[in-house]
Amino acid sequence: MPSSEDIYHVLKNDILSLALKPGQPIGESELAKRFSVSRTPVRAALARLKAEKLVEVFPQKGTFVAPVDWDFVRQLIYMRCSVELRMADALCSPCAEMIAELKQNLRRQKRLLTTGASPMDYYQIDSSFHRICFTYCGMEAVWRIFRQFHANYTRFRLMDIRESGLTDRFYEEHCEMVRYMEEGRPEELRKLIQTHLESGFERMVRREVPSLPTTRPTDRKDD
């Protein structure tokens, strides 16, 4: 019989992978039947998901998958872009081990594209590409901080991957990034990083929340 811990992990994965969509109702009774348990472990699992802002509970209405917080995603991308732009100089003075690891990642991306892998599979290897860059720049702690807030970002990325159908472009941009690193071209790398990180959000804003402002790090002026 699954524990509340088991139920929590299954539901969290369902929410992040969009098997449970934003706004979708998730009733305790249905979940209890699904997992063949009483409502007690279901309530405990939902309480954890509520604490992580993955579900919302409304009295007399029920429990629902939380919507994507688009403004939070915008701000997280702003931070990601600010950090990765500052990493460009270091990335363009690369060590052989970093380049070898990035190229191995690119080969895995290419295999996924040719085998028709799921959006989640591609998203995970895409994230690994950026994690490698953070690691070799000595920014592992910063990467871990970003990953602590991945619930909204993961759902945003999966929505963009599914709806845009641009995984080939994402792969080509990664290939071009590695080429700029090898050739020592930080300015070109910075421009591509900014486009790579921000274009998905701009696409989703047009579809989902057209009134939400976008902010590019290089557009901001110090007061």
pLDDT score, position 209: 59
Least trusted range by pLDDT, from 69-83, 147-161, 163-177: 147-161
Q: Which band of pLDDT confidence, cut at 50, 70 and 90, is reported for residue 216? A: very low
* Whether the predicted pLDDT of 2 surpasses 80: yes
What are the pLDDT digits (tens) for 39-62? 999 999 999 999 988 999 998 889
Q: Report long-range pairs for 6-11 (Cβ below 8 Å, ≥24 apart).
A: 6/35, 7/31, 7/35, 7/37, 7/41, 7/42, 7/44, 7/45, 8/44, 8/45, 8/48, 8/49, 10/35, 11/45, 11/46, 11/49
Domains of the chain: 4-65 (1.10.10.10), 70-219 (1.20.120)
Lowest-confidence segment of 43-47, 126-130, 134-138, 200-204 by average pLDDT? 200-204
* Residue with tokens 């941009």, as numbered in its chain: 173
> pLDDT averaged over the chain?
90
